[in-house]
Amino acid sequence: MHTYKNVPLVAKFRLLRASTAYRGGLGFANARTKARTVFTPTAIECKKKSGFASEILNKTKEKVQNTVNGREENGFQNRKALKPGTVTKMRKVYEDTLKPHYAETGVLPPYNDAKYQFARTLDEIEGMRKAGLLAAEVLDYAESLCKPGVTTEEIDEKVHLMIIDAGAYPSPLNYGEFPKSVCTSLNECICHGIPTPDETLLDGDIINVDVTVYLNGYHGDTSRTIRVGKVSEQVETLCRVTEDALEAAIKIVKPGVPLRRIGATIHEIADKHKFGVVDKFVGHGVGKEFHSGPTIRHHRNNDPGTIEAGMTFTIEPMLTIGGTRDIMWKDGWTSVTADGKWTAQCEHTLLVTDTGCEIMTLSPAKKALGDHLIRGAR
């Protein structure tokens, strides 16, 4: 996922963590939580730091204060550059909710790219289906919230409540000390944006909402890029091509196909439309563990490995209008494009069948409307 000295760390959330130790109380206030005992992850009050501008620019103080991540505030689509905001306390979950192993400590196991996850028994397949369906329902709900004037903090709060009220655990919460229940990546944010009360959606924005739930011992993982109001033609094309790339990649998934064909398929479509393909972040195995092998690269590659029946993994291409080089914020999670150009991503969890694959995270709302099952709202 994150490359350090050309060594890829391939788990989706496995980023280099900031060296600062965080401490702080946690809280979640909602009337519905009072009737049940709540569990608080033992973790952090992870606050986003100011941007890297003061460290990477040798300019006047006035100039530095008007820059973020080394570039001017007003940039692509006449939008101000994203800035780190104040990260509020972690939300609580019900004490009787089945939780993943990292929920209390935030400590992750070593990532094993050679360890694949499979769903072969009826119980395993049904467990994955239920987790995938809940994740899809939550993402549909999150999309309905993405309107001008809404903050990403509000999205996180409402999504969190829907997940815990369904008897599930929000998988990102305290995963490697990630401080929120969902990732909200706005405009030039490639992935892993942390919701804050300072980040307000505007008409014409795009936002990727990445939802993962842990239900009855299984993770279901999905995301899409949502258009907020009316977006520009260029941005709409970016979103559509990203969705087309995911769809094309899903269509070639079946036993015996080399894993590297997924990346080649995506890259070919991106090239046709002159979009960049982010190679720093990858898809991954998913199931009883949040992240495992196989590593699913979305760009052309020579990785070994063949798709097998029963495998469960995600495909989640990230395409950019400009360059693919990123800047990582000091929070250790938020990745933004270095040139400030916008980026789109969409993701599904798949189960490989004998003849193809089953999409475990199809949108029930879009299916009911007869809409495309991968695309976001337009």
Task: Write out the binding residues for substrate.
Answer: 192, 291
Is the bond preceding 109 in cis, omega lying within 30 degrees of 0? no
User: H-helix or E-strand containing 296?
Assistant: strand 292-296
Residues tagged in the binding site annotation:
192, 210, 221, 284, 291, 316, 347
For the record, the structure tokens of 304 come out as 């070994």
Residues tagged in the binding site annotation for a divalent metal cation:
210, 221, 284, 316, 347
The CA distances from residue 372 to 208, 243, 362, 369, in Å, are 17, 10, 10, 9
Task: For the chain, report the end-to-end CA distance as a whole number of angstroms.
Answer: 29
Pinpoint the alpha helices (H) of the chain.
Answer: 53-56, 61-65, 122-145, 152-165, 233-251, 260-272, 364-369
For the record, the structure tokens of 182 come out as 């969902």
Query: Within 10 Å of residue 31's Cβ, how many Cβ atoms?
Result: 6
Q: Are 143 and 209 in contact (CB under 8 A)?
A: yes
Q: How distant is the alpha carbon of residue 56 from its chain centre?
A: 27
Q: How distant is the alpha carbon of residue 51 from its chain centre?
A: 21
Helix then strand count (H, E) for the chain reads 7, 21
For the record, the structure tokens of 93 come out as 């979950």
Q: Are 339 and 77 in contact (CB under 8 A)?
A: no
Buried residues in 190-213 as b, exposed as e (16+ CB within 10 A) = bbbbbbbeebbbeebbbbbbbbbb
